[in-house]
A and B are shown apart, each in its own frame.
Chain A
Amino acid sequence: MHTSHQALPWHASLRSDAAQALGRVLRNENGVCRNSQLLGAVTGAVSGGLGMLAGVLKSSGNWPLAILASVAFTLAFLGLMGLAWLRPLWFSGRPAVALSALTGGLAAALGMTLGLSRAPVGHGLPWREQMDGLLTAARIGLPMPLLLSFALLLVVILTASQRREHMARELALAQSRADQEQAKREASEARLRLLQAQIQPHFIFNTLAAVQHWVDTGDARASPLLRQLSSFLRGSAELMLRPQVSLAEELSLVQAYLGVMQARWGERLRFSLDIDAACAAAAHLPPGIVLSLVENALEHGIAPTLNGAELHLQLTARPGGGWRLLVEDSGVGLAEGWQEGLGLGNSRARLQGFFGERAALQLSRREDGPGTRVCLQLHTGDGSERTAEAPIQPT
């Protein structure tokens, strides 16, 4: 990567990346592909070095110079390839252009020097002949250095660009993995929140206080309340662990909850259910959403009333496919300037993730009297096909 995480100076981070890369090669971690690139680079470097050795030897007969040149070339080539690999961004775009210009310039200078040393141009000659002389020198001296340097540059830049593509691919892969992880985490968090909401102390301890009292006084209401409470807690724990449940299962959980609340509140909670059983069995959705709508109706709609209110639940199949669930209460209704809370936002997000645009959740004031009306609709299908194709399945 271009910059290391710990903000080391560039040479330190370069060294550390090089060490890591070398280590991976030595441990043969990256498979044949990467190692063949390394093999290519080494071969190129070595043969280039040998060529350089032969060439310099032939032209100057000087062994030390030849060896020096050859070693210098080999190391420089390997170094350049290494840099291209570790820091591809230094060899792309504008830096690449600058590098090419620089290389070209240097090679030309070297070439001209060599050419002029072979075919010197006298200074006293008229300018046209000087030009000719220069051209000759260029013809002699330029081709090889230019060819060589641009060949090298090409190899280095190609390596860098290939490495950059590779890094981009890895980044995309990591990103998509991160997105999946994120989605999984969000789903788990949502489930945890729901579970926590279910087990909220206020709910538990108020219910237990009622049970305690009725047990102490031998009141017959104790037993059914305890049964409803167990059934609710067990049901919510089971359902929350699954990615989706049938509406029938969700509604039976809702009924256990309502049973507990009615035992506690007595006359202050009156409720009625009108459920199309076939529709409920066939429809599927993420668990806990309908329950949280009912909890909201009780907590924000009915609890604040002094004398209690009614709750009505209705599930009907839509004629063109899909279903409609209504949760209506005759409580205090939505306040002026009321805003959606986190719970509703979370429910919407989960519905969106499961149904896409096909599901709609709407809250409004009731038309015939005080209270709130919540309408959850699925437009087509029953959601069951979603099980086969849901892209993200939290486990």
Chain B
Amino acid sequence: MTTAIRTLIADDEEGPREQLRAALQRLCPELDIVAASRHGVDAWDDFLEHEPQVCFLDINMPGLTGIEVARRMAATARPPHVVFVTAYGDHALAAFDAGALDYVMKPVEDARLAQAIERLKTRLHQPAPDLQALLKQLLPMAASAAAVPKPRLIQASLGREVKMIDPQDVVYFESDNRYTRVVYDGGEALIRTPLKELLATLDADLFWQVHRSVLVNSRSIASAIRVDENTMQLTLKGREEKLPVSRQFQGLFKGQ
């Protein structure tokens, strides 16, 4: 018996999302749908939490587009196999026929979906291909409904004061599910925005996510220390605390 295949689906509209879920369950009961995300930001966060092996992603989603989510996924230690779900065929999709990625159109048709599932199953036994380059190409083609990251000031209320913090001054963000700690040159503050929403609006080249609940300013990193096989820690410039790097993100720190 095949073990359950952890699957994530993401679509910003309820109709298509539920339609896909119903079709997947009908065609391939081994697929264990661990998350049905409502937008790109949730899709990314759900991926970090559940570590699915297969992801069906709508391309046009708010927060992060399907392609942006796929890029981040592809950069982690265990990238999933991705199938894009799209409303119409684009000539860009010819890129998919390279076989590295797959796509289905919505409303999903059983025959086509079954085909995609078959392809997935055969590929599951191989590591996921390196999609970074391909995804970079596709990025501009996603007519993105996602907001353009605005480098705006972070507003943190502290009693009667509202502190205006420039992201550039932030050393790292750390969050639990309700609040996010903003540690910056000059102090600390708490904001209500969950980390997953923050990271969609910040410059991904400056702020690296190294853990599901940690976002660090890459310029503040002094070094990454491997403690043992599974654990890695970051030391920061001019500060004493150490930040954990989860397994998924350890690939970010490789010697050259």
Q: Taking beta carbons and an 8 Å cutoff, which residues of A are in contact with B? A: 201-202, 204-214, 216-217, 264-266, 299, 303-306, 332, 335-336
Cβ of B16 and Cβ of A202 under 8 Å apart?
no
Give complex CA distance A336, B63 in Å.
Answer: 17
Q: Taking beta carbons and an 8 Å cutoff, which residues of B are in contact with A? A: 12-16, 18-19, 22, 39, 41, 60, 62-63, 87-88, 105-108, 145-148, 150, 197
Q: Which of A206, A304, A332 contacts B16 (CB 8 A)?
A: A206
How close is A203's CB to chain B, nearest CB, in angstroms?
A: 8
Chain B residues within an 8 Å CB radius of A210: 13-16, 19
Q: Given A205-B105, A216-B22, answer yes or no on A303-B15 (Cβ-Cβ < 8 Å).
A: no
Cβ of A208 and Cβ of B145 under 8 Å apart?
no
Give complex CA distance A264, B17 in Å.
Answer: 11
Cβ of A209 and Cβ of B16 under 8 Å apart?
yes
Give complex CA distance A352, B102 in Å.
Answer: 47
Chain B residues within an 8 Å CB radius of A216: 19, 22
Cβ of A206 and Cβ of B147 under 8 Å apart?
no
Cβ of A206 and Cβ of B19 under 8 Å apart?
no
Q: Given A209-B106, A336-B150, answer yes or no on A306-B39 (Cβ-Cβ < 8 Å).
A: yes
Q: For residue A302, which residue of chain B has the nearest CB?
A: B62
Q: For residue A208, which residue of chain B has the nearest CB?
A: B107
Give complex CA distance A251, B88 in Å.
Answer: 29
Cβ of A213 and Cβ of B39 under 8 Å apart?
no
Chain A residues within an 8 Å CB radius of B150: 335-336
Chain A residues within an 8 Å CB radius of B145: 299, 303-304
Give complex CA distance A202, B106 in Å.
Answer: 9
Q: Which of A202, A211, A212, A304 contacts B62 (CB 8 A)?
A: A304
Query: Looking at chain B's contact residues, is the secondary structure mostly helix, strand, loop, or mixed?
Result: loop
Cβ of B88 and Cβ of A209 under 8 Å apart?
no
How close is A369's CB to chain B, nearest CB, in angstroms?
A: 14
Q: Which of B19, B39, B41, B146 contacts A209 (CB 8 A)?
A: B19
How close is B177's CB to chain A, nearest CB, in angstroms?
A: 15
Cβ of A306 and Cβ of B62 under 8 Å apart?
yes
The 4 closest A-B pairs by CB, nearest first: A210-B15, A201-B88, A213-B19, A209-B107
How close is B217's CB to chain A, nearest CB, in angstroms?
A: 22
Give complex CA distance A214, B62 in Å.
Answer: 23
Q: For residue B60, which residue of chain A has the nearest CB?
A: A202
Cβ of A213 and Cβ of B15 under 8 Å apart?
yes
Cβ of A205 and Cβ of B148 under 8 Å apart?
no
Give complex CA distance A264, B106 in Å.
Answer: 14
Q: Which of A201, A204, A211 contacts B15 (CB 8 A)?
A: A211
How close is B18's CB to chain A, nearest CB, in angstroms?
A: 5
Q: Which of B13, B41, B106, B147 contacts A265 (CB 8 A)?
A: B13
How close is B29's CB to chain A, nearest CB, in angstroms?
A: 17
Q: For residue B145, which residue of chain A has the nearest CB?
A: A303
Show 16 A/B contacts (Cβ-Cβ < 8 Å), sorted by A: A201-B88, A202-B60, A205-B105, A206-B15, A207-B15, A209-B19, A209-B106, A210-B16, A213-B107, A264-B14, A264-B15, A304-B146, A306-B62, A306-B63, A335-B150, A336-B150
How close is B38's CB to chain A, nearest CB, in angstroms?
A: 8
Give complex CA distance A212, B13 in Å.
Answer: 13
Chain A residues within an 8 Å CB radius of B146: 304
How close is A205's CB to chain B, nearest CB, in angstroms?
A: 4
Q: Which of A207, A211, A332 contacts B147 (CB 8 A)?
A: A332
How close is A278's CB to chain B, nearest CB, in angstroms?
A: 37
Chain A residues within an 8 Å CB radius of B63: 304, 306
Give complex CA distance A214, B18 in Å.
Answer: 9
How close is A302's CB to chain B, nearest CB, in angstroms?
A: 9
Q: Given A217-B22, A304-B62, A304-B145, answer yes or no on A266-B14 (Cβ-Cβ < 8 Å).
A: yes
Q: For residue B90, which residue of chain A has the nearest CB?
A: A201
How close is B148's CB to chain A, nearest CB, in angstroms?
A: 6
Q: For residue B196, which residue of chain A has the nearest CB?
A: A306
Chain B residues within an 8 Å CB radius of A212: 15, 19, 107
Cβ of B87 and Cβ of A205 under 8 Å apart?
yes
Q: Given A205-B107, A217-B22, answer yes or no on A306-B197 (Cβ-Cβ < 8 Å).
A: yes
Q: Which of B22, B87, B148, B197 contacts A202 (CB 8 A)?
A: B87
Give complex CA distance A304, B65 in Å.
Answer: 10
Give complex CA distance A202, B105 in Å.
Answer: 11
Q: Which of B22, B62, B87, B148 contacts A303 (CB 8 A)?
A: B62
Chain A residues within an 8 Å CB radius of B18: 213, 217
How close is B104's CB to chain A, nearest CB, in angstroms?
A: 11
Chain B residues within an 8 Å CB radius of A204: 87
Q: Given A305-B62, A306-B63, A335-B148, answer yes or no on A205-B88 (Cβ-Cβ < 8 Å).
A: yes
Cβ of A213 and Cβ of B16 under 8 Å apart?
yes
How close is A207's CB to chain B, nearest CB, in angstroms?
A: 8
Chain A residues within an 8 Å CB radius of B12: 303
Cβ of B148 and Cβ of A201 under 8 Å apart?
no
Chain B residues within an 8 Å CB radius of A265: 13
Chain B residues within an 8 Å CB radius of A336: 150
Q: For residue A300, which residue of chain B has the nearest CB?
A: B145
Q: For residue A214, which residue of chain B has the nearest CB?
A: B15
How close is A378's CB to chain B, nearest CB, in angstroms?
A: 32
Cβ of B60 and Cβ of A264 under 8 Å apart?
no
Chain B residues within an 8 Å CB radius of A264: 13-15
How close is B169's CB to chain A, nearest CB, in angstroms?
A: 19
How close is B11's CB to chain A, nearest CB, in angstroms?
A: 9
How close is A283's CB to chain B, nearest CB, in angstroms?
A: 32
Chain B residues within an 8 Å CB radius of A335: 147-148, 150
Give complex CA distance A299, B144 in Å.
Answer: 10
Q: For residue A211, which residue of chain B has the nearest CB?
A: B15
Cβ of B106 and Cβ of A205 under 8 Å apart?
yes
Q: For residue A332, which residue of chain B has the nearest CB?
A: B147
Give complex CA distance A201, B197 in Å.
Answer: 29
Cβ of B15 and Cβ of A304 under 8 Å apart?
no
How close is B99's CB to chain A, nearest CB, in angstroms?
A: 24
Q: For residue A212, which residue of chain B has the nearest CB?
A: B107
Other than A207-B15, A213-B22, A306-B41, give 19 A-B pairs with Cβ distance below 8 A. A201-B88, A202-B60, A205-B88, A205-B105, A208-B107, A209-B16, A209-B107, A209-B108, A212-B15, A212-B107, A213-B18, A213-B107, A216-B19, A299-B145, A303-B12, A304-B147, A305-B62, A306-B197, A335-B147
